[in-house]
A and B are shown apart, each in its own frame.
Chain A
Amino acid sequence: MKQLPKHRLFWPAVALVLLLVSNVFFSSSFFSIRLQDGHLYGSLIDILRGSTPLVLVALGMTMVIATAGIDLSVGSVIAIVGAFACLQVSDLSDQNSVGGVLIAVALAVVLGLVLGLWNGVLVAVVGIQPIIATLILLVGGRGVAQLITDGQIINVRSDPYRTIGAGYALTIPVAVIIAAAVVALAVVFTRRTALGLLIESVGSSPTASRLAGIQARRLTVIVYVFSGFCAGVAGLIYSSNISSADGNNAGNLIELDAILAVVIGGTALTGGRFSIAGSVLGAVLIQTLNITIYTAGVPGRVTLLFKAVVVVALCLAQSPAFRAKVFRQKAAVTA
């Protein structure tokens, strides 16, 4: 039992439970989940479904950060891919044709991969610092998204497309299934093969791993492509959920939330080690925080302060230096 508080996911988990429990005070039916028309309904399900874009983006970000990089462009990728998919769907002669929507979705996912490849090449081949390389797409990406939608908000009326973000399969929201599948895929690839180890090695020291015969450059490109893929899928879910493409606001500032989720989950920004479970927990935690702020009726102007307090408290609780300085002094006094 004594080992439990030292586990790196202990404090985020405690914070998540505390936030969830605190919601009961504001909404008594918070924990109730009911089955209606073969669909699961309830606040917890809403939180899970609402957190899927952030979970996906944070997953991609985890891999990038594991190589000591950072991807600031994820919000713009969400906007571009969402805009592209909605444009394709709206161009269909029959927006409800499953085949047409599938092709549009496939093309949009490829677009996400290409955008990730662009970042990866800039970082790994051209050798630009990641924060600046991805800043280029952050700045230009929103312009590209608006160019695709011609500055308008594209609305689509397509049931198959709407299924991605708002539909249900086997009583569970489709978005949750998609996110779970991508996370499971990532876990299998990084923990059941040597890929995860190689990524951590590149993050620890690119030079040493190159000397050890690891294709550091190729791995770096792969993680950015994966991040682009994750952000692309997140963009599909986001735009499908609201059935429209908003080049200006889709995914705005999500890069900061994603980085926060990764760090809360115990992955250091210096690279070298990563925790997928931690990032998923961190993303769900941030979404729960947002929902809690909403259900608690916190006025909009205080939201950011509230978030700052939670972030600082959580990071301090996780910091070994903080625990050592604050708690050991007490111990020294009593001794």
Chain B
Amino acid sequence: MTSVTTPPAVERPRVARARRYGVSSRFVPVLATLVLFCVMYGIGIANYNGFSDTQILLNIFIDNAHLLTVAVGMTFVILSGGIDLSVGAVLALGTVLAASLLQAGWPAVPVIVVVLASGALIGLAQGAIIHFFEIQPFIATLAGLFTARGLAQLISTKAIPITNDFWTTDATERIHFAGFRLSPSAVLALVIALIAGLALAYTRFGRNVYAIGGNRQSAALMGLPVARTRVLVYTLSGLCAALGGVLYSFETPTGNSLTGQGMELDAIAAVVIGGTLLTGGSGFLAGTVLGVLVLGLIQTMITFQGTLSSWWTRIFIAGLLFLFIVLQRVATRRER
């Protein structure tokens, strides 16, 4: 048995600086992300023509509806002190499952139900293995990654096109309001993020997630339902990943077992950029939404730049990610 480690005291010393500005220390990381996002957005406006159009921001949500959904589930997992590496593979499985069922002539609604159920089931299995057999989340969800992608490949190694009307209309449909446009997927993702945020902040389940992430032993001693909460958190993440798969198959009407590679890292990055601690117990869902916006803004700036080769794009993404994380770290730096 390895010794149980308490996370290093990152939170405590932050209080001093935060108090000076009259802000609760809990909000400092999210506020830092918000300020940095605004700075980055300002740089974009200053450098590129047409960047100031508000539709640019909405397009980020349209393009990243699936990532936002996946990251919402990941937020719950990370807040509870775990990690879920399987989300990208579950998303891929979702697209392949949907495409193959539609190809077999199933109507849209049962297909969506089956896809969501499969994701939730994989999440449930992972949660159960992690909690009851005390397997490390990293490894259990890595096995989940292999399983989900393996199942996706078993169904089809080729990309399956989707011709279902429900799918194709959703891909092109736009909801108009006050001169702006959003896709139904983006609206759905934002609504889910809102519900999840409210659930985290105001429900007993949400408080249990924070408590378990803060200190699982104390939570158990306080009589909180640790087992139920932990298993539920992974089930939720699997469900969100499968829903992400449905949304992704709306955007690109195909089912492909190779999609979503590395998406787990994008989701983790979005959560962490949003100020949530990987050790669990501290963070907000609003931060995750901001994190997705930051990743999307980096992509948008690269698109506006327009002249980068594929490898310069990668280096540029890494550079901006680096700048952002270091600045965020400086902004929330503890005083010595």
Contacts and interface: CB of A to CB of B under 8 A. Distances in A.
A137 B319 CA distance: 9
B317 A303 contact: no
Given A138-B265, A301-B154, A320 B314 contact: no
Interface residues on A, range: 35 or more
B313 A260 contact: no
A316 B135 contact: yes
A135 B265 contact: yes
A140 B153 contact: no
Interface string A312-323: 100110011110
B3 A151 contact: no
Most chain A Cβ neighbours within 10 Å, of B151, B311, B319, B325: B311
A256 B142 contact: yes
A204 B9 CA distance: 13
B202 interface: no
Contacts of A127: 329, 333
Interface string B105-122: 000000000000000000
A318 B265 CA distance: 27
B151 to A, nearest CB: 7
Interface stretch (B50-58, B126-134, B189-197, B217-225): B126-134
Interface in B225-242: none
A138 B264 CA distance: 13
B305 interface: no
A268 B8 contact: no
A140 B132 contact: no
Contacts of A231: none
Contacts of B6: 205
A140 B139 contact: no
Contacts of B309: 151
A305 B154 contact: yes
A260 B141 CA distance: 11
- Chain B's interface size range is 35 or more
Contacts of B319: 140
Contacts of A256: 85, 142, 145
Contacts of B133: 316, 319, 321-322, 325
A170 interface: no
B35 to A, nearest CB: 18
A263 B325 contact: no
A147 interface: yes
Q: By CB atoms of chain A within 10 A, which of B1, B2, B149 has the most?
A: B2
Contacts of A128: 325-326, 329
Contact of A139 (B1, B134, B144, B314): B314
A4 interface: no
A144 interface: yes
Contacts of B70: none
Contact of B326 (A68, A126, A135, A316): A126
A110 B289 CA distance: 40
Interface string A254-281: 0010011001000011111100000000
Contacts of A34: none
Contact of A129 (B136, B278, B326): B278
Report whether over half of chain B's contact residues are helix, strand or loop; otherwise say mixed.
Answer: helix
B8 A206 contact: yes
Interface in A107-146: 126-129, 131-133, 135-146
A139 B321 contact: yes
Contact of B147 (A143, A151, A308, A316): A308
A321 to B, nearest CB: 4
Contact of A321 (B134, B154, B269): B134
Contacts of A269: 136, 138-139
Contact of B3 (A206, A272, A304): A272
A332 interface: no
B143 interface: yes
Interface in A176-218: 203-207
A302 interface: yes
Nearest to B319: A140
A206 B272 CA distance: 21
Given A129-B272, A259-B142, A205 B314 contact: no
The listed residue with most A CB atoms (<10 A of its CB), out of B8, B132, B319, is: B8
Nearest to A205: B5
B333 to A, nearest CB: 8
Contact of B315 (A144, A207, A303, A305): A144
A138 B266 CA distance: 12
Given A142-B311, A147-B311, A305 B318 contact: no
20 contacts: A126-B329, A131-B278, A132-B272, A133-B325, A140-B318, A151-B311, A256-B142, A259-B142, A263-B136, A269-B139, A271-B2, A301-B150, A301-B154, A302-B150, A304-B146, A306-B150, A308-B146, A315-B143, A320-B1, A325-B133
Q: Shortest 8 CB-CB distances between A and B: which pairs?
A: A140-B318, A143-B314, A304-B150, A305-B150, A308-B146, A146-B311, A321-B134, A143-B315
Interface of B: 1-6, 8-9, 85, 129, 132-136, 138-140, 142-147, 149-151, 153-154, 157, 265, 268-269, 272, 277-278, 309-319, 321-322, 325-326, 329, 333
Given A140-B315, A256-B145, A307-B150, 18 more contacts: A136-B325, A138-B265, A139-B314, A142-B314, A143-B312, A145-B311, A146-B310, A204-B3, A207-B9, A259-B138, A263-B136, A273-B3, A301-B153, A308-B143, A308-B147, A319-B134, A320-B134, A321-B134
